[in-house]
Amino acid sequence: MTITITSPNDAIIGHYTMSAMTSGGSRELGKFTLLFNPWCAGDSVYLSDNRERQEYLLEEIGLIFVGTASQIESRRWDLGQFEDNILNICFHLLDRSINHRRNPGTDISRRNDPAYVGRVLSAMVNSNDDNGVLLGSWSGDYSAGKNPTSWNGSASILRQWQNSGFQPVKYAQCWVYAGVLCTVLRCLGIGARCITNFSSAHDTDKNLKIESYVDVNGMPAGMSNDSIWNFHVWVEGWFQRPDLGPSYDGWQVLDATPQETSDGIFCLGPTSVYAIKEGNVQLPFDGPFVFSEVNADYERFIVYDNGYTAKIHTDKSTVGKNISTKTVGSDGRMDITLNYKYLEGTSQERSAFQNALKMLHESPQFRAMSAQPSPASSAAPARNPHISGEIAWSGSPVVGDSITGTLTVKNLTGASKNVKVNRTATSISYTRREAQQIWKDSQSFILSDNEVKETDVIITYDMYKDHLTNDNMIQVTAVCEVDQEGCIVAEKVITLAQPPIVIKALGEAIKDKKLEIEVTIFNPLKEPLKDCILTAEGSGLTEKEVKMMWPGDLRSTWRYSEDNTSGDLERTSRGRSRVSKRGALRSWWSQCLCARVPSLNEREKIQLKFEIIPFKTGEKQLLVNFTSDKLRDIKGFEKINVTEPPPS
């Protein structure tokens, strides 16, 4: 017997049991799971564009952009929203939230509202308040867990959380939080995409200003907790905002990275993207923080050895550059900066900024924080030394190469100037947290009228090899001071590229048939790579075990844990639902395969082969990660089109 039902557009998402009442009593007909329905025009998550539904609901591989505004790179992320058991884990997230524990009835009654569900999930994907999914770490020591750069996808993280008895998974940074949150939103039927904001501000005092203090060598002088990250990743979800009005429907910011608390909990959003563009930061939720991330003013100060502090400059266009997401239907980068703010320097952009500032001034929290003394209030005003300075890098160096660049200082006047330049190079994380100093020097020279002087910056591999962070970023800062006239600061970050990893499928990919994969790795360094580990995963591609073929016919078997479950839930969407009798489900799901591989000698190339058995048809992607003691988390991918076996 088949029964078709139609649910209300605002029905509560969750697990349902259907029973029939007859004269003989009650009889269970089946079970189903009701989700948000972006195909239903009456649903608050409705997406009218079919290509966008395909991208933001059905696509299982995402792109996350990283790097710097001038050096953008992408990472693939296996979302895995359709892998078995992920849906049940998503509902565990809701059921284990603080909201549900405090008042289960009220919590469940609000699960028809995507704004409410999104806010709960932004709190539960981090573990700061509620034993949620991920524990963050930016310390550089990840020995008690997994390096954040090693993750390739969400499914293994979510399963580890469940299989450990819901203990936080170690460790995450912003793109990992975003990837997992994007998976959960898509799994529940909410269109979602990962967003990267380059030169992303972290405004701790919510005054729409980022205050930065450096010493005479360009090193941080403390005095402020504000910062500008090279990039930050969050998620947008698509849904209506009846609490704000139709103008604010559409993309909403949700961020699971635990930066600041909101209503006492580490969560963020939903924040209307349109509200941010217009400066309407008073609207719920978390408008001042998101506005600052994309459009705060940047004020820089210098602190001299005697404690004297002076302002260097105010920059109104440093923050919020090249805001990026994956292009619909392709692997390109779509720039959506103008969704968040008007063109920099225009009257509309400044008007939105002033509107945001006005809204902040009216809040008691802002008035209380403004009453606190700030080092900026006692700093000497900025003086213009009438020189310019710029650092430029040469080429696109790979880890192992020397880095070469040029500092160009120009006299902008017709009078000669005595200039002192202090230059430093430091390894940094993507949050611009300085790790270790690599190099520094000082020099003085006279610039004649309108003279341009260039000085080289050369950093060899031996200088930086023991100091790199996981992000492979090096920052060079030059403080250029003119005698009695003030100073400028020139700064440039470079990201060292990883050597490529080449993946090739050897043969035709057929469902449930073995497929041999070849991986080629090259060591570009003049020293060996040890403690080498290769991991591979891909939705619909990897399961149970694979055979690894070392050079010289040495064979090994990759194995991993398998948590066998069965279930009888069928996924349906609001607006139209179908119930059918289901037996036990096979517990196939994407797994992360991991194996130690031989050490690589200097300048050595190695080819490794292993077998997988694809278990889903369609275009899939195999993601491979190689890490070692000196080169960490080199990533590659191969698109694999899996077909049904030919009829027998």
Query: Could you tell me the CATH number of the domain that includes residue 184?
Result: 3.90.260.10
Q: Are residues 335 and 452 in the same domain?
A: no
- By residue range, what is the domain housing residue 475? 387-495
Q: Would you call 559 helix, strand, or coil by DSSP? A: strand
| Residue 433 falls inside a structural domain | yes
262 DSSP assignment? B
Give Cα separations from 23 to 20, 30, 182 (angstroms).
10, 19, 47
Catalytic residue among 100, 113, 232, 471: 232
Question: Which residues, listed in sequence order, are joined to residue 522 by a DSSP beta bridge?
Answer: 605
Amino acid at 386: H
| Residue 451 falls inside a structural domain | yes
| Residue 422 falls inside a structural domain | yes
Q: Are residues 283 and 425 in the same domain?
A: no
| Residue 482 falls inside a structural domain | yes
**255 a catalytic residue:** yes
10 is in an annotated binding site: no
610 vs 517: CA distance, rounded Å: 5
Total number of residues shown for the chain: 648
- pLDDT for the residue numbered 570: 41
378, 407, 439: which is the final residue of a domain? 378
Token pair recorded at residue 107:
């919590």
- pLDDT for the residue numbered 484: 87
Question: Domain containing 553 — which CATH number?
Answer: 2.60.40.10
Q: Are residues 480 and 536 in the same domain?
A: no
503 vs 638: CA distance, rounded Å: 6
Q: Are residues 542 and 478 in the same domain?
A: no
495, 527, 544: which is the final residue of a domain? 495
Catalytic residue among 43, 78, 174, 532: 174
- pLDDT for the residue numbered 548: 58
| Residue 172 falls inside a structural domain | yes
Give Cα separations from 152 to 138, 259, 387, 558 (angstroms).
18, 23, 46, 17
Q: Are residues 482 and 505 in the same domain?
A: no
73 is in an annotated binding site: no
Q: Are residues 57 and 159 in the same domain?
A: yes
- pLDDT for the residue numbered 20: 87
Share of the chain above pLDDT 90, in %: 84
- pLDDT for the residue numbered 370: 63
Q: Are residues 195 and 145 in the same domain?
A: yes
472 DSSP assignment? -
Question: Which residues, listed in sequence order, are joined to residue 624 by a DSSP beta bridge?
Answer: 536, 636
Token pair recorded at residue 283:
């609207």
| Residue 514 falls inside a structural domain | yes
Task: Return all residues near 189 (Cβ < 8 A) that are at least 6 apart.
Answer: 13, 35, 36, 37, 38, 45, 57, 573, 574
Report residue 295: phi and psi, to 5°. -150, 20
43 is in an annotated binding site: no
Amino acid at 620: K
Catalytic residue among 255, 286, 471, 633: 255
Q: Are residues 101 and 154 in the same domain?
A: yes
Task: Return all residues near 195 (Cβ < 8 A) that are at least 6 apart.
Answer: 178, 233, 234, 235, 236, 253, 323, 324, 325, 336
- pLDDT for the residue numbered 4: 80
Decide the pairing of beta strands 321-326 and 555-559: unpaired
Domain count, the chain: 3
Helix extents (H) in 96-220: 98-102, 104-109, 114-124, 155-163, 174-187
| Residue 8 falls inside a structural domain | no
Residues of the chain with pLDDT under 50: 545, 552-572, 576-590
Q: Are residues 402 and 348 in the same domain?
A: no
Q: Are residues 204 and 94 in the same domain?
A: yes
Q: Are residues 371 and 437 in the same domain?
A: no
568 is in an annotated binding site: no
Amino acid at 536: A
Q: Is the dihedral angle over the CA atoms 161, 166, 169, 174 positive or is it negative? A: positive
| Residue 577 falls inside a structural domain | no
Please report the DSSP string for 334-370 in residue order.
EE-HHHHSPPTTSHHHHHHHHHHHHHHHTSHHHHHHH
Q: Are residues 325 and 420 in the same domain?
A: no
**95 a catalytic residue:** no
476, 495, 514: which is the final residue of a domain? 495
**532 a catalytic residue:** no
